[in-house]
Structure 1
Protein backbone atom coordinates (compact mmCIF):
# COMPACT_ATOMS: atom_id res chain seq x y z
CA UNK A 1 0.00 0.00 0.00
CA UNK A 2 1.37 3.42 -0.90
CA UNK A 3 1.48 6.33 1.53
CA UNK A 4 -1.16 8.09 -0.57
CA UNK A 5 -3.53 5.12 -0.18
CA UNK A 6 -2.80 5.03 3.56
CA UNK A 7 -3.44 8.78 3.76
CA UNK A 8 -6.93 8.35 2.36
CA UNK A 9 -7.98 5.70 4.90
CA UNK A 10 -10.41 6.88 7.57
CA UNK A 11 -9.03 4.62 10.33
CA UNK A 12 -5.38 3.75 10.94
CA UNK A 13 -3.93 0.74 12.68
CA UNK A 14 -1.06 0.95 15.17
CA UNK A 15 1.16 -0.46 12.43
CA UNK A 16 0.09 2.31 10.02
CA UNK A 17 0.87 5.01 12.58
CA UNK A 18 4.24 3.50 13.52
CA UNK A 19 5.24 3.20 9.86
CA UNK A 20 4.15 6.75 9.11
CA UNK A 21 6.06 8.19 12.08
CA UNK A 22 9.02 5.84 11.88
CA UNK A 23 8.70 4.67 15.48
CA UNK A 24 8.64 1.24 17.09
CA UNK A 25 5.36 -0.32 18.13
CA UNK A 26 6.58 -0.29 21.74
CA UNK A 27 7.04 3.49 21.50
CA UNK A 28 3.41 3.91 20.49
CA UNK A 29 2.29 1.82 23.46
CA UNK A 30 4.59 3.82 25.77
CA UNK A 31 2.90 7.00 24.52
CA UNK A 32 -0.50 5.40 25.07
CA UNK A 33 0.38 4.40 28.64
CA UNK A 34 1.58 7.97 29.30
CA UNK A 35 -1.64 9.34 27.72
CA UNK A 36 0.39 11.07 24.99
CA UNK A 37 -0.89 9.04 22.03
CA UNK A 38 -3.73 10.10 19.74
CA UNK A 39 -7.22 8.99 20.81
CA UNK A 40 -7.76 5.29 20.04
CA UNK A 41 -10.77 3.12 19.30
CA UNK A 42 -10.50 -0.35 20.85
CA UNK A 43 -12.17 -2.98 18.69
CA UNK A 44 -13.91 -6.04 20.18
CA UNK A 45 -10.89 -8.20 19.23
CA UNK A 46 -8.57 -5.86 21.18
CA UNK A 47 -7.00 -4.20 18.13
CA UNK A 48 -6.69 -0.43 18.15
CA UNK A 49 -7.63 2.04 15.45
CA UNK A 50 -7.13 5.79 15.25
CA UNK A 51 -9.31 8.05 13.16
CA UNK A 52 -7.23 9.81 10.50
CA UNK A 53 -8.73 13.17 11.56
CA UNK A 54 -7.74 12.57 15.21
CA UNK A 55 -4.23 11.56 14.14
CA UNK A 56 -3.83 14.72 12.05
CA UNK A 57 -5.12 16.89 14.94
CA UNK A 58 -2.73 15.15 17.35
CA UNK A 59 0.22 15.80 15.03
CA UNK A 60 -0.80 19.46 14.61
CA UNK A 61 -0.94 19.88 18.40
CA UNK A 62 2.66 18.61 18.63
CA UNK A 63 3.98 21.29 16.26
CA UNK A 64 6.36 23.79 17.80
CA UNK A 65 7.21 27.17 16.36
CA UNK A 66 10.66 27.47 14.79
Structure 2
Protein backbone atom coordinates (compact mmCIF):
# COMPACT_ATOMS: atom_id res chain seq x y z
CA UNK A 1 0.00 0.00 0.00
CA UNK A 2 1.25 3.45 -0.96
CA UNK A 3 0.99 6.81 0.75
CA UNK A 4 -0.46 9.79 -1.06
CA UNK A 5 3.03 11.31 -1.28
CA UNK A 6 4.38 8.14 -2.92
CA UNK A 7 1.55 8.06 -5.45
CA UNK A 8 1.88 11.76 -6.28
CA UNK A 9 5.62 11.36 -6.82
CA UNK A 10 5.15 8.24 -8.94
CA UNK A 11 2.65 9.85 -11.29
CA UNK A 12 4.44 13.22 -11.29
CA UNK A 13 1.88 15.57 -9.79
CA UNK A 14 1.99 17.86 -6.78
CA UNK A 15 0.34 16.89 -3.51
CA UNK A 16 -2.11 19.76 -3.98
CA UNK A 17 -3.19 18.37 -7.35
CA UNK A 18 -3.60 14.89 -5.97
CA UNK A 19 -5.66 16.13 -2.99
CA UNK A 20 -7.86 18.12 -5.39
CA UNK A 21 -8.40 14.98 -7.49
CA UNK A 22 -9.31 13.09 -4.32
CA UNK A 23 -11.81 15.77 -3.35
CA UNK A 24 -13.37 15.66 -6.83
CA UNK A 25 -13.26 11.82 -6.82
CA UNK A 26 -11.12 11.79 -9.96
CA UNK A 27 -8.13 9.96 -8.47
CA UNK A 28 -7.62 6.32 -7.55
CA UNK A 29 -9.71 4.89 -4.73
CA UNK A 30 -8.08 5.23 -1.35
CA UNK A 31 -8.43 3.57 2.02
CA UNK A 32 -8.58 5.52 5.28
CA UNK A 33 -6.93 3.54 8.04
CA UNK A 34 -8.16 3.61 11.68
CA UNK A 35 -5.24 5.88 12.62
CA UNK A 36 -6.48 8.44 10.05
CA UNK A 37 -3.76 7.93 7.46
CA UNK A 38 -4.72 7.31 3.85
CA UNK A 39 -3.28 4.56 1.65
CA UNK A 40 -3.77 3.51 -1.95
CA UNK A 41 -3.36 -0.06 -3.07
CA UNK A 42 -0.82 -0.55 -5.86
CA UNK A 43 -3.43 -2.58 -7.77
CA UNK A 44 -5.93 0.30 -7.52
CA UNK A 45 -3.34 2.78 -8.80
CA UNK A 46 -2.57 0.53 -11.77
CA UNK A 47 -6.30 0.04 -12.50
CA UNK A 48 -6.86 3.81 -12.38
CA UNK A 49 -3.96 4.43 -14.76
CA UNK A 50 -5.39 1.82 -17.16
CA UNK A 51 -8.74 3.65 -17.20
CA UNK A 52 -6.89 6.84 -18.19
CA UNK A 53 -5.10 5.01 -20.99
CA UNK A 54 -8.38 3.56 -22.24
CA UNK A 55 -9.96 7.02 -22.30
CA UNK A 56 -7.17 8.51 -24.38
SS of equivalent to 1:49? strand
Q: Distance in 2 between matches of 1:44 and 1:51?
A: 16
> Could you tell me the TM-score, scaled by structure 2's length?
0.89
TM-score when normalising by structure 1:
0.77
Number of aligned pairs? 54
- Which of 41, 51, 55 does residue 61 from structure 1 map onto? 51
Structure number with higher helix proportion: 2
Residue 35 of structure 1 aligns with which residue? Answer: 25
Cα shift readout 1:5-28 (whole Å, capped 9, x = no counterpart)? xxxxxx111011011011111111
**Structure of higher RCO (CA pairs closer than 8 Å, 6+ residues apart):** 2
CA root-mean-square deviation: 0.8
Q: Unmatched 5+ residue regions in structure 1?
A: 1-10
1:45 shift after superposition: 2.1
Segments of structure 2 that go 5 or more residues without pairing to the other structure are none
Partner of 2:39: 49
